[in-house]
Amino acid sequence: MLFKKPKFENCKEIQYSFKAYLEKKMSLTEETAFVKHIRNCPQCKGELIEYFGFLAAVKYLDASINDDDDVSKGNFAESIEKKLCHTELLARKDLNSKIFRRAVLTFVVFIISLAAGII
């Protein structure tokens, strides 16, 4: 399987991707690259919080969000932080799963090689 390089190379591309991130329309690889940039770029993080706040305000006017939600209380930065943490958690789980699968495969190959007398 080839590693697909995320398309994000600058702040402008990150900012064009805010909607895709918030609507969960990115692959895990893209989300991971997006979050890494947001964590390291205060300007983009601030813009993301503002964008999220704008979307939340529109949804609130449409009365389509729950009053108990962080967003309806105006905690946009907190809501974005939760989303970023969630993406980072998914990326770690995915990496751990890949590492575990490789370890199991290596072990199986070792056992088969040992049984076949190759080693």
Round to whole Å and give the CA distance between 49 and 43.
Answer: 10
- In the chain, the percentage of residues whose pLDDT exceeds 70 is 80
Contact 71, 79 (CB under 8 A): yes
pLDDT of residue 91: 87
Contact 64, 57 (CB under 8 A): no
Q: Among 6-10, 14-18, 83-87, name the one with the lowest average pLDDT.
A: 6-10
* pLDDT at 119 exceeding the cut of 70: no
Query: Which DSSP string do the residues of 48-114 spell out, in sequence order?
Result: HHHHHHHHHHHHHHTT-S-TTSTTTTT-HHHHHHHHHHHHHHHHHHHHHHHHHHHHHHHHHHHHHHH
pLDDT per residue as tens digits for the range 96-107: 888 888 888 888
pLDDT per residue as tens digits for the range 16-61: 999 899 888 999 899 999 999 999 999 999 999 888 888 877 776 6
* pLDDT at 7 exceeding the cut of 60: yes
Round to whole Å and give the CA distance between 44 and 12.
Answer: 9
Q: Where are the domains of the chain?
A: 11-93
pLDDT of residue 37: 93
Contact 48, 83 (CB under 8 A): no
Round to whole Å and give the CA distance between 94 and 88.
Answer: 10
The overall pTM is greater than 0.85: no
